[in-house]
A and B are shown apart, each in its own frame.
Chain A
């Protein structure tokens, strides 16, 4: 305040006194409060934005850590879903096989190398899936890549090379050793007739088939339905 009064006498001797520059102090209290609030808001906004960006960066790093996959992949929450997956391999006789499906799902909590399949199909010399190799084997399945085991569930339908058909709700195909087991009831047909049982096993490349548990069968014979043009020497008696 004192510096102000000492200079007032000099001012009077000079030509019209120049206007001194001072910041406009006409800021009313309410305007000042508004300005403070605005500044505080901006500070919060920028802090939150910085945190969000950091979070996104960390998430990107975590998601990006998975290995390479075949088929178009699409990360759906926890699981990785592949469309038109294709798994190939050879059994112990070096016979090739190809497992395909509409969709494959690798669950995050699933054991290593185990993939769930929707409408699995199998192109494999030991088993036929009817005339159309691309025919679906079952509603759903699980492929255990390390152990080469294909588990099929619900509405399982397949045929062996020797002409035996199987309808069941379960089939476990051991792709390493041309072997199939089924732990649920099965309806089977073969050259000799029809069979029903609680479980079944196919080994030896389809040459040996064992049906177990409450087995019911009807064996029909050519004799039963003699061919229309059977000549006497063809007949059996």
Chain B
């Protein structure tokens, strides 16, 4: 998953703009980033580096901010939102806005989704906002395909 942040990032887009002095890159138009076996897609991405310019080096990628039609896809799950921030040093991805996460047949909707790529822990919703997290969990199918599904509402976060 986008988690092994030391891997190179392969990026496709319509436009790539470098602002050298600010150590900042802007990707526009159907942006598609692949790192390892995961990918991040959006209409726009801003990539910020740790280096201080000009004169100093560029350092490492500090964070990637994706906006509009954000998709974060890993082999295990597919999440979409309005805005996504991938902080490479902490290896944490945060999706906000109208967030929908699908894992197989399970669907989770929330306004904030935080995924720690190192520990694999995920956090849905945001305490104190009154927003509800909704989950539709499909029990694992047993061989005699007895189906039962219950919508479970869980308290916030």
> Interface of A with B (CB < 8 Å)?
162, 164, 190-193, 195, 197, 206-224, 226, 236-237
Contacts and interface: CB of A to CB of B under 8 A. Distances in A.
Contact of B20 (A207, A216, A218, A226): A207
30 contacts: A162-B20, A164-B20, A190-B18, A192-B25, A206-B20, A207-B19, A207-B21, A208-B18, A208-B19, A209-B18, A210-B15, A210-B18, A211-B16, A212-B14, A212-B15, A214-B14, A215-B13, A215-B14, A217-B10, A217-B12, A218-B9, A218-B11, A219-B25, A219-B47, A221-B88, A222-B57, A224-B6, A226-B6, A236-B60, A237-B89
A212 B30 CA distance: 12
A213 B6 CA distance: 28
B10 A223 contact: no
A209 B17 CA distance: 6
Interface of B: 5-21, 25, 27, 47, 49, 54, 57-61, 88-89
Contacts of B13: 215, 217
Given A192-B25, A192-B58, A220 B14 contact: no
Contacts of A212: 14-16
Tell which of A164, A212, A219, A226 has the most Cβ of chain B within 10 Å: A219
A216 B8 contact: no
B15 A221 contact: no
Nearest to B58: A191
Nearest to A193: B8
A237 B90 CA distance: 8
Nearest to B6: A223
A215 B7 contact: no
Contacts of B59: 222
Contacts of B9: 218-219
Contacts of A190: 18
Nearest to A201: B17
Nearest to B55: A162
A209 B18 CA distance: 5
Contacts of B12: 214-217
B10 A224 contact: no
B15 A211 contact: yes
Given A192-B58, A207-B54, A221-B61, 10 more contacts: A162-B20, A195-B16, A208-B18, A208-B19, A212-B16, A213-B14, A215-B11, A215-B13, A219-B47, A237-B89
Contacts of B11: 215-219
A209 to B, nearest CB: 4
Tell which of A191, A193, A213, A237 has the most Cβ of chain B within 10 Å: A191
